[in-house]
A and B are shown apart, each in its own frame.
Chain A
Amino acid sequence: MTSASVYWLQQILNALQLGSIYALIALGYSLVYGILTMINFAHGDVFMVGGFLCFLAATLLGLPFVPTLLLTMTATAGLGVIIERMAYKPLRNAPRVSAIITALGVGLFLENLTLAFYPYPQHVPPLLLNVTWRLGGLALSSLQLIVISLSLTLMLVLDYVVRRTMVGLAMRAISWDKTYVPLMGVPVNLIISITFAIGAGLAGAAGTMYSLAYPVIDPYMGIMVGWKAFIAAVVGGIGTIRGAMIGAYILGGVEIIVVALLPSTYRDLVVFSLLLALIVIRPHGILGAPRAQKV
């Protein structure tokens, strides 16, 4: 392999890892928007809580990777349902602005609650086998491969659930029309809670993998990542699952390419400018379709 192709292969792996984590979080935004047409601004902080729960499971309970992952996903899924029941359900018929403000408030609450317990950045113990294999000039990190493959697996599972199960059918039905679907016997509240649980659970998985890949966690780490994942979801077409994934990998790819070609100072500038341009060209996102407003 030439050193140039090795270099670019390495960068592609970097992009896949970054994109995978963004994808897991972006899915949460898309799922919730699809079903409630509301942006869950607290989602980035749910991701952060996932990271801290992974830290707690690893340090206090001393669990290895798989139980930690499962425990964290379950706990964040529960957190998602609690947030939905307490903060969003009462405001379902309120003006959209109220729901947004509440979401921001929930996010701030999560950040400061975590800050109260952990004002210092914490180190997450290494739970994943971290071997670096050298192939030619390529450095393959087992951590990178696990993150990428695990994320893809979770996304495939989600895709299956949404397209091949009754729950998924109900989710898609509610996102299509919320007024008449309950008349067909669909338990709307239950399905909404399940949606939040799935979205939050995926964010919890993202938080776990993120905190193992970048093992210094702090209460504000969800902010920037959350915003970028949200933008990824919008670029891909908010409300669509495939769109969230595509948008996230595009975002991760552009971030890595920009840093590879330009001084890293320009990264966020170029990334956000490109995304802005994409939105201008396709306002509904790449896979989003304009939805007719029923009168």
Chain B
Amino acid sequence: MKKNLSRFLNLLVLLAAMALVGCGARAPKEETIKIGAIVELTGDMPAVGASSRNAAELAVGALNHAGGIVIAGKRYRVELVTEDNAAKPDQSAAAANKLITQDEVIAIIGPNASLGAIPAAEIAEANRTLLITPWSTNPKTTLDTASGKPKHYVFRACFTDPFEGRVLAGFITGKLGARRAAVLYDVASEAPKSQAELFRQTFERLGGNVVAFETYTTGDRDFSAQLTKIQSAKPDVVFLPAYYNDVGLIAQQARRQGIDGILIGSDAWSSPELVKLAQGAVEGAYFANHYSTDIATPVAREFIAAYQQKYGKIPDDVAALTYDSMGLLFQALKTASAPERQAVRDAMAAISGYPGVTGDIRFTPGSGDPVKSVVMMQVKGGQFAWVTNAAP
């Protein structure tokens, strides 16, 4: 009897406590609109995720400081919800799902690497939510895999691999006058794979000869066998469309194997961590990039100064593209007819000329890919130096 009574009292207390929980949260709140960000904070390329997150937070902070954003006549504060995808495809899809269904974000920025952007884009498209990837260059991100037609809800702020491959092949045959190229790429990662294939097609069309086409898998450390094969094929240049963490190992082992040819990189090289990890092995190498501090426009200079002041380092291309992605999103929000996902998406597609840090960004109707120039860079004295621009 006593036991039952004490149990009943416990239950009453518990119920009372639960009822009171709701009371504290009733403070008046200003209207907030949420933007999701999926970035690679852990995993193979944490420098990429950190840059992206920093730039996103800088953009949101500046916007909120200036009073927030006005959508359809109403003022909102922007809240950034950041998710880590650990540079993995499955976690990217999970993060996208969470942001769309649980956090109810109005749009998503990221992921950066194509291996994560492609699955996240599928989820966004299926849920009719706008997703803009700052850095993913693989064409599959904005294409519907079944029909091959462009997706409606996915945009990017950068150029795509076919264009990058054309520019690199043209640069190598033209400016460097090289005719024999070897390629070593990660067969398990989307961006390097498509860049390698497209490079081979374009290089051969321009009269070059791909003398070695070798692969490795994500996470490999020893490339000695592949590099020995490449060395025996005697190439003029070696194309390495790898992320900065792999380039360090490959470049050093290549030099150790006696490979003297010029190294050529893709836009995945652009992290400031590259030289720290690769040291002298990448000296003199050329790579494609999205922007350069050497040719900064006034808009770019303002961003670079603000970023440097807040984070103490010079922003890389991931940061610049993320900043532009946020800018594009804010522009879309401002011109949207309502704070709804469909309206924001339509407004994004209608952007005809956004002056970004990485150049003028405009979307052609029916495509989520903007028309952008490739910036060719060289590693000189351990720093990135601008060489030339290539417009489409």
Contact = CB atoms under 8 A, between A and B. Distances in A.
B352 interface: no
B214 interface: yes
Given A132-B258, A215-B252, A265-B217, A120 B47 contact: yes
Contacts of A221: 221
A265 B187 CA distance: 7
A263 B185 CA distance: 12
Contacts of A225: 221
Given A119-B46, A139-B256, A268-B217, A215 B249 contact: yes
Interface in B115-145: none
B228 A216 contact: no
Contacts of B216: 264
B173 interface: no
B32 interface: no
A123 B279 contact: yes
A198 B307 CA distance: 50
User: B44, B231, B258 — which one has the most chain A CB atoms within 10 A of its CB?
Assistant: B258
B245 A121 contact: yes
Interface stretch (A35-43, A76-84, A96-104, A253-261): A253-261
A120 B224 contact: no
A229 to B, nearest CB: 13
A293 interface: no
Contact of B222 (A119, A130, A214, A263): A214
Interface in A126-179: 126, 130, 132, 134, 137, 139, 141, 143-144
Contacts of A130: 256
A7 interface: yes
Nearest to B227: A14
A144 B252 CA distance: 13
B228 A141 contact: no
B200 to A, nearest CB: 14
Given A120-B273, A139-B257, A260 B221 contact: no
Interface in B218-268: 219, 221-222, 224-226, 228-229, 231-232, 245, 248-249, 252-253, 255-258
B228 A10 contact: yes
Contacts of A121: 44, 46, 245, 273, 277
A139 B46 contact: no
Nearest to B184: A264
A17 interface: yes
A143 B273 CA distance: 24
A220 B217 CA distance: 15
A264 B256 contact: no
A16 B187 CA distance: 26
B215 A265 contact: yes
Contacts of A218: 44, 245
A192 interface: no
Given A119-B46, A214-B222, A11 B252 contact: no
Interface residues of B, number: 33
B42 interface: yes
Interface string B178-220: 0000000001000000000000000000000000001111010
A274 interface: no
User: B217, B225, B248, B279 — which one has the most chain A CB atoms within 10 A of its CB?
Assistant: B225
A93 interface: no
A224 interface: yes
B258 A214 contact: no
Interface in B157-191: 187
A214 B221 contact: yes
A18 interface: yes
A149 B191 CA distance: 39
Contact of A216 (B215, B225, B245): B245
Nearest to A224: B219
User: A123, A137, A224 — which one has the most chain B CB atoms within 10 A of its CB?
Assistant: A123
A17 B224 contact: yes
B98 interface: no
A218 B215 CA distance: 22
Nearest to A10: B228
A221 B252 CA distance: 18
Interface string A258-291: 0110011101100000000000000000000000
B149 interface: no
Contacts of A119: 41-42, 46
Contacts of A18: 222, 224
Contacts of B222: 14, 18, 214
Contacts of B46: 119-121
A14 B258 contact: no
Interface string A203-228: 00000001000111010110011000
A137 B273 CA distance: 33
Given A216-B245, A220-B219, A264-B215, 15 more contacts: A7-B228, A119-B41, A121-B273, A132-B258, A134-B258, A139-B258, A214-B221, A214-B249, A214-B253, A216-B249, A218-B245, A225-B221, A259-B226, A260-B225, A263-B215
12 contacts: A11-B225, A115-B42, A119-B41, A123-B248, A132-B256, A132-B257, A139-B231, A139-B257, A141-B257, A210-B221, A215-B249, A260-B225
